[in-house]
Amino acid sequence: MRTATASSARERVRTGVRRSQRSGKASREGGLRPSATEGAHQVLPAIVSVFFHTDGTICHSWCGRPLEFHGSRGGLELDFFCTRCIEHVTLPQSVLSRVPVLSGV
Ligand SMILES: [Zn+2]
């Protein structure tokens, strides 16, 4: 009797492990996770926090005022500050070529 109980408990454990393995496989095969190609964006997002004025100054999109340049961080990011909004704006240097040019707000 004692042996039978222990063996049936072992059987339940084995069955439970198999079920969890099967469900893990099913979720991978079921397509719940996007594939690597589905998640890739082909179109780069628009830069909306700043814009280049036609006079060459970089301006805050929120208020349209020119931003103060506060320096570069690690040669990768540029720090700006908007004195009207009292807001810090950081831009990766790599997006400068994609900043839109507008005549002002
Ligand atoms: Zn501002």
Is residue 44 one of the residues assigned to a domain?
no
Check whether 2 has a pLDDT greater than 80: no
Distances (CA, A) of 48 to 13, 30, 80: 55, 37, 15
- 22 and 57 fall within a common domain: no
pLDDT in tens, 47-95: 999 999 999 999 999 999 999 999 999 999 999 999 999 999 999 999 9
- 28 and 57 fall within a common domain: no
Is residue 10 one of the residues assigned to a domain?
yes
Give the chain's domain count: 2
Distance of CA 45 to the CA centre of its chain: 11
Is residue 45 one of the residues assigned to a domain?
no
Range of the domain at 35: 2-39
pLDDT in tens, 16-33: 444 444 444 444 455 566
Is residue 26 one of the residues assigned to a domain?
yes
Is residue 21 one of the residues assigned to a domain?
yes
Distance from the alpha carbon of residue 11 to the mean position of ligand 1, in angstroms:
67
Among the listed residues 44, 45, 32, 47, the one whose alpha carbon sits nearest the alpha carbon of residue 102: 47
Distance from the alpha carbon of residue 90 to the mean position of ligand 1, in angstroms:
13
Distance from the alpha carbon of residue 66 to the mean position of ligand 1, in angstroms:
8
- 33 and 75 fall within a common domain: no
Q: Which two tokens stand for residue 67?
A: 């931003």
Instruction: Please state the pTM of the whole predicted model.
Output: 0.58
Distance from the alpha carbon of residue 35 to the mean position of ligand 1, in angstroms:
40
